[in-house]
Structure 1
């Protein structure tokens, strides 16, 4: 598609993509009668809102006094008492709410801190779709007489993800056949997420160093090969699959049966919010750096900008984000 776009223009590539997408949509709809699905039993979002509203309404009501002591003991058994989000227990004062609703609300809120720490990974991954492409366009993209389209390098993280998934699953099968326990840390989703978030920091450090080297080469009249960007793509691909795959598994395993869909969807929310955070960081850093004499992205192109400093900023933010993840995990 990139080659078609470069040779025949945007309109032709858009027409082809529209046709292929329509064909795939028709294929999906044609199998509707064969799909197995479970009808939704109420909205989990509405149940969460009801619990939060009831907790706020009863926030001033004491559950330790003689008036409410019997109600609390009856509706909140000893084994169901949780140390976290105790204020939500006041929702049990409402006769229309049960302990199951309060418990699933606590579980959902408990997953949010982990969810928040994954947004910066998505923000860093967004750079592979924007700045890395612009960097590649300013580098030597030729292999003999063939010119590589920089957008094609985006296939590298996908290939890395496929290789990792296949290798990881085969490794698990081999251990099961040998009778080896699968309780090792590497099989724990939070551990894999931690490795992924740590690798994001490393990838941004490498990106900052590589961009600095590219700018130095430009000042000397030289042009680096686009293949130097492969280090960043490989690290981002590994961090992406480790974090996202671990996040989906963790949210799905921890979520109550009635909330598995919404908790799994948090991984997609992380990706979309990361894109927005990336835009905010670019705008904010450019504005603040402009007050000190030079905007990081004030040049006519990346050869006259300071993308290396922006990558360094992302590295520092990701380090603090990783420490925050370790604290919550």
Structure 2
């Protein structure tokens, strides 16, 4: 499993530098292109999750995705080998650089499309495949912590060894190492297929959700009953999960989808004609659970947007700082991101072994997933404020014709890493546990989807700021990136208030049995 994140991060973490140095693309434009690519990398896992849930299962999707990723990274390696696939390098001291031709840019886009599609196909299906090996919610939560830790270790290897190789040896060797890691991972995963616990595809879960919405609209004039016998329960059998006999009071208008009326035929599990007019109570409740999670998903979007914006700016800031550590070593600009990853890994371990057990011992109850996410939100807002202060200091050193040490950038990255250690595993655990069983893969991909939306929001925010202010010129030494960070602080504070309100109102579906806790989550 480690080889997959090594490959994924090995080409993506240094992409902004690659575009600037090898394809002569200006810094802010390179940041926007990188955000778009990372947005696709984060949103496509939803497609992979739907394919795994509905038609093929996790193992085939992971296997095919690994091979597609291998094709993409091999093509990136070939681009690095052949000079005619890249524009001519800029002449030393010249501001006039050749832009890539349409053919060169097209081949680059094809390589990025392949490697993005392949990496996206394994990103969350691996998490679901691993969690499916366990039955208890507690064991699944522990697995997600270790899964995130493993992914972060892969990212650390990429952001240090791979990035250093790309910057100081050659891009062809750096991409070649990614290709080797991809190939080894694919072979190891496919070789172990017979040992895995395979989940059978359950058909498209979205059909059921759509049926509930359609049936409730068709019966919108029907009077909602309070009697259990007036509601339809389908799929009670050996392989069916326990069915709810009465619909809940939330989203009451959806209860009509399970209400038996005179126009309905005798319920038949296999009847195609009935599913668009009569659904089971369990299907109605599953639809409600998805709707109840949407407000919290929106809160996560607005807390991850500052994170992805910061990650792009930190690389640009690192490029104009003093990156020398000693007489013979220079920190690669993209490698500064490893600080947040290392910080996240350290605190994931500390949380599992010290913080969470200590809290449980003192309060006699565990932290809920949403409480962990809320703690993470606070650290992320603090990180944006620290980033603003550090950038203001850097601009003062530029005025004095000096270069600030890159070490100053480490402080906000450490803080954001702590926030990620709290919120990232908890978000995955929360959505995996609260989504209906038929949407478990989609649940784990939802976090990735949120990041994808955040990358696009970040791109839109950068474009808006460029159009309305002078804060983001091509040379950030003449800009005010610190003001951008303060805008992100304001957004983060407002979003945290919204998150607290959503968390207070939310009631867990599946937490009570495993953690012996009131299903109502209390953040404060």
Give the TM bin, normalised by the shorter chain. 0.7 to 0.9
Q: Which residue does the alignment assign to 1:121?
A: 303
Q: 5+ unaligned residues in a row in structure 2: which ranges? A: 1-161, 234-243, 265-273, 504-524
Instruction: Give the secondary-structure state (helix, strand or coil) at the position aligned to 1:142.
Output: coil
Q: TM-score by structure 2 length?
A: 0.56
Cα distance, 1:112–1:174 mapped onto 2, change above 3 Å: closer
Contact 1:175–1:182 under 8 Å retained in 2: no
**Corresponding residue for 1:292?**
none
Mapped partners of 1:306, 1:150: distance in 2: 20
| Alpha-carbon distance, 1:266 to partner | 1.4
Which residue of 2 is the match for residue 108 of structure 1?
A: 290
Match of 2:352 in 1: 169
Q: Which residue in 1 is equivalent to 2:205?
A: 44
Cα RMSD (Å) of the superposition? Answer: 2.6
| Deviation at residue 309 of structure 1 after TM alignment | 1.2
SS of residue matched to 1:143? coil
- Determine which structure has the larger helix proportion and give its number: 1
Deviations 1:173-212 (A, max 9, x none): 9669x9776514xx21111111111222111111111111
Q: Establish whether residue 153 from structure 1 lines up as the match of residue 336 from structure 2.
A: yes
User: How far is the alpha carbon of 1:24 from its aligned partner?
Assistant: 1.4
Correspondence for 1:193 among 373, 376, 386: 373
> Secondary structure in 2 aligned to 1:118?
helix
> Aligned pair 1:27/2:188, yes or no?
yes
Of 222, 240, 248, 1:62 maps to: 222
1:1-329 equivalent positions in 2, closer than 5 A: 1-59=162-220, 61-64=221-224, 74-75=230-231, 80-93=246-259, 96=275, 97-145=279-327, 146-171=329-354, 182-184=364-366, 187-289=367-469, 295-297=470-472, 299-329=473-503
SS in 2 for 1:39: coil
Q: For 1:296 and 1:50, how far apart are their aligned partners in 2?
A: 49
- Tell me, which stretches of 5 or more residues in structure 1 are unaligned? 290-294
Question: 2:228 touches 2:246 (CA, 8 Å); kept in 1?
Answer: no
* Mapped partners of 1:166, 1:220: distance in 2: 42
Note if contact 1:118-1:243 (Cα within 8 Å) is conserved in structure 2. no
Structure 1 residue aligned with 2:132:
none
For normalisation by structure 1, the TM-score amounts to 0.87
Distance 1:44 1:288, change over 3 A: same
Question: The residue matched to 1:62 in structure 2 has which SS?
Answer: coil
Find the aligned partners of 1:224 and 1:212 in 2 and give their Cα distance: 11
Rounded Cα–Cα distance in structure 2 between residues aligned with 1:31 and 1:248: 25
Change (3 A) 1:25 1:182: farther
236-245 or 120-129: bigger deviation: 120-129
CA distance in 1, matches of 2:486, 2:349: 33
Change (3 A) 1:120 1:33: same
Residue by residue, what CA displacement relative to the aligned partner does 1:105-127 show, whole Å, maximum 9, x if unpaired? 10111111111111123222213
Q: Determine the C-alpha separation between the residues in 2 that align with 1:309 and 1:246.
A: 31
